[in-house]
Amino acid sequence: MSSEIVHNRIPMLRAERGISRKDLATALGVHYQTVGYLERGEYSPSLFLALRIAEYFEVPVEVVFSLTPFARLGSGS
C-alpha cells in the first residue's frame, strides 16, 4: 500500500517569483505555518486549497502537486 504523501513544488514556485511564505499564506487566506507544513509534506491540502495554490501560481495543479517525487531540476538528459 502506498503512503499518502503529496509532493509539491511550492518552494520552487515561491523562489522563482520571490514570494515569501507569509505573502503566499495571506493570498490564500491561511496561516503562514500552513504553507511551511505543505512545503515539507507534513500536511496534504484539501482539493480546494490545492486548486487555489495552482490558480495563484497560474499553473495546472499537477505542476504544483504530485503523488510521486518530482525529478530534481538539472538531473535530466
pLDDT at 77 over 50: no
| Model pTM score | 0.85
With 0-12 CB in 10 A as exposed, 13-18 as middle and 19+ as buried, what is 51?
A: middle
pLDDT at 1 over 50: no
Q: Which helix (H) or strand (E) holds 71?
A: none
Q: What is the mean pLDDT of residues 4-22?
A: 94
pLDDT, residue 73, reads: 64
pLDDT, tens digit (0-9, with 9 covering 90-100), for 15-67: 999 999 999 999 999 999 999 999 998 988 999 999 999 999 999 999 999 98
Cα–Cα dist 34/40, whole Å:
10
Q: Distance (Å, rounded) from C-alpha 67 to C-alpha 7?
A: 6
Q: What is the pLDDT of residue 75?
A: 52
